[in-house]
Amino acid sequence: MRCHACRGPANVEIRRSRTAYCARCYPAWFRTQVQERIDHERMFRRDQGILVAVSGGKDSLALWHALTELGYRADGMYIRLGIGDYSQRSQAKSEAFASERGLTLHQVDLKEAQGFAVPDLLDTRSGKPCAACGTVKRYHFNKVAADLGYEVVATGHNLDDEAATLFGNVMHWNVDYLGRQGPVLASTHPKLVRKVKPLYRLSERETAAYAIIERLDYILEECPMAKGAKSLAYKGMLNALEEEQPGAKYGFLVGFLKQGRHAVPGGDFDQATDLRECTRCGQPTTGELCAYCKMADRGRKKSASKAAKYAR
Ligand code: AMP
Ligand code: FES
Ligand code: ZN
């Protein structure tokens, strides 16, 4: 195959659009895709401060890299989740990326600041902390951005992530989540920062190709706690389908966003509107105490009982 831009020998094939690019032309194609989505979805403007949530993985580092190359003012945020060596290695990758480029990286240390870590949040039914971990991440993305005055939080969610989430929400008919799934979540409260996912139409393979060609040093391993998680099974299944039908994942997600979403009751992109402030932490919530504060109480109890066991 030939490169769609320069006609030289191609290195990366984009099967769903039957095109390919050489390693020299590919990064510009990737960044054009990102820019096109930012503009089309009106994610943010050049004069706004953007906070990129970075995990040390390929997607979030590719996003941070692409945004800075495109001339955006983007700082990073890393949350120390306390998942053993995995967290330490991903923190080191995030810090190295920032320091090599003179970028600002804010950090939150869950254990130090909150007295618990993600492994203290195991769900009694699934035995996994992933759902609670999602709540922890969303809470701190929002809080750090709101406290420091950023107008937008950008995450590295890619097409594979979004298609797998959509599949899970359809499988379980989580109508509330279906209505809120999308690349942009508007701010509906002064303390609720706008959330965007600029890579949502680019596949994991495409972001990996960008990270490799741009020589980004990212963490290869996946979170050890996610082993056996349903989302991984959905991803595997969608990839098997993609092999047979190139473009299946893209069609599933983009078709839903264009057509299916409107059919879901309350299906718009806004975050909850009926909000007041959590009586403990002041963050926006629908109830008296926010979901995070309730969960943090459980985490701290668990952490204290583990510490007591070791002290014995
Ligand atoms: P995940 O939930 O692990 O699939 O990650 C989805 C997105 O959340 C990533 O692309 C990052 O933007 C962000 N993210 C994940 N882990 C962290 C972390 N420890 N600190 C900051 N952002 C994170
Ligand atoms: Fe949250 Fe793995 S990153 S459980
Ligand atoms: Zn709270």
What CATH number has the domain bearing residue 236? 3.40.50.620
| Protein residue closest via CA to atom 1 of ligand 2 | 133
136 has pLDDT over 90: yes
Residue 134 CA, closest ligand 1 atom number: 2
What is the residue range of 197's domain? 27-311
pLDDT digits (tens, 9 = 90+) for 55-76: 999 999 999 999 999 999 999 9
Lowest-pLDDT choice from 21-35, 197-211, 260-274, 290-304: 260-274
Q: What are the respective helix, strand and coil percentages of the chain, to the nearest 5?
A: 50, 15, 35
| Protein residue closest via CA to atom 17 of ligand 1 | 55
19 has pLDDT over 70: yes
The verdict on residue 143 lying in a domain is: yes
273 has pLDDT over 80: no
The closest alpha carbon to 82, from 126, 120, 52, 138, belongs to 120
Q: State the burial class of residue 142 (Cβ atoms within 10 Å of its Cβ: 0-12, 13-18, 19+).
A: buried
Adjacent-strand bridge partners of 186: 270
pLDDT mean over 138-148: 96
Residue that wins the pLDDT comparison between 268 and 44:
44
Query: Widest CA span of the chain, in angstroms?
Result: 69
Core vs surface per residue 175-213: b (16+ CB within 10 A) or e: eeebbbbbbbbebebebbbbbbbbbbbbbbbbbbbbbeb
Tokens 């759902």 -> residue: 131
The verdict on residue 64 lying in a domain is: yes
281 has pLDDT over 70: yes
The verdict on residue 212 lying in a domain is: yes
Best residue among 55, 88, 118 to mutate for probing ligand 2's pocket (most ligand atoms within 8 Å of CB) is: 118
Q: Say yes or no: CB of residue 122 within 6 Å of ligand 2.
A: no
Confidence (pLDDT) at 269: 47
- How much distance in Å is there from the Cα of 155 to the middle of ligand 1? 7
Give φ, ψ of 44 to 5 degrees. -165, 170
Q: How does strand 152-154 pair with strand 194-196?
A: parallel
Best residue among 50, 58, 97, 155 to mutate for probing ligand 1's pocket (most ligand atoms within 8 Å of CB) is: 155
The verdict on residue 8 lying in a domain is: no
Confidence (pLDDT) at 227: 77
- How much distance in Å is there from the Cα of 31 to the middle of ligand 3? 37
Lowest-pLDDT choice from 168-172, 225-229, 278-282: 225-229
pTM, rounded to two decimals: 0.95
The verdict on residue 13 lying in a domain is: no
d(CA 52, CA 270): 20
User: How many domains in the chain?
Assistant: 1
Lowest-pLDDT choice from 52-61, 152-161, 257-266, 292-301: 257-266
The verdict on residue 129 lying in a domain is: yes
Q: Give the chain's mean pLDDT.
A: 93
The fraction of the chain above a pLDDT of 90, given in percent, is 79
Q: Say yes or no: CB of residue 53 within 6 Å of ligand 2.
A: no
pLDDT mean over 22-28: 97
The verdict on residue 12 lying in a domain is: no
pLDDT mean over 286-294: 91
The closest alpha carbon to 210, from 32, 51, 23, belongs to 23
pLDDT digits (tens, 9 = 90+) for 76-133: 999 999 999 999 999 999 999 999 999 999 999 999 999 999 999 998 888 889 989 9
Q: Say yes or no: CB of residue 157 within 6 Å of ligand 1.
A: yes
The verdict on residue 21 lying in a domain is: no
